[in-house]
Amino acid sequence: EVQLVQSGPEVKEPGESLKISCQGSGYTFAKFWIAWVRQMPGKGLEWMGIIYPDDSDTRYSPSFQGQVTISADKSISTVYLQWSSLKASDTAYYYCVRPTLNGNSIRYIDSWGQGSLVSVSS
């Protein structure tokens, strides 16, 4: 069974840095793309970016380019999402997801992590 287990809730102040994680199991972790999806309070889903753990090939949605960094450590089957300087507007749930692809075309998301709540407030 595919499982994506994310790190716990975080409470931070504006300007602080943060790195949250997502550990995969139940499949060959390095050979499947993993993406991050943001959901702000009471709002919809937003695609942030995607990484291929085997070679760390990373692509960002234009809206998130330069705002976050996605990385991976395939030796421990973990993908990360990090911020260097948080803003209050980064308050949201963040989901790691595993998409099913056909070539470079994403067909759908077959697995979701449980979500990590990031709260940023002074």
Partner 1 sequence: QSDLTQPASVSGSLGQSVTVSCTGTSSDIGGYKYVSWYQQHPGKAPKVLIYDVSYRPSGVSNRFSGSKSGNTASLTISALQPEDEADYYCSSFSIRSSLLVLFGGGTRLTVL
Residues that bind partner 1 (CB under 8 A): 33, 35, 43-47, 50, 59, 61-62, 95, 99-100, 102, 104-110, 112-115
Q: Between residues 57 and 73, which has the closer beta carbon with respect to partner 1?
A: 57
Q: In terms of Cα–Cα distance, which of 47, 59, 98 is closest to 77?
A: 98
Q: In terms of Cα–Cα distance, which of 108, 82, 79, 84 is closest to 96?
A: 79
Q: Between residues 18 and 50, which has the closer beta carbon with respect to partner 1?
A: 50
Nearest distance, CB of residue 38 and partner 1, angstroms: 10
* Residue 103 phi, psi (nearest 5): 65, -125
Q: Between residues 11 and 40, which has the closer beta carbon with respect to partner 1?
A: 40
Q: Between residues 10 and 46, which has the closer beta carbon with respect to partner 1?
A: 46
Structure-block tokens of residue 25:
């199991």
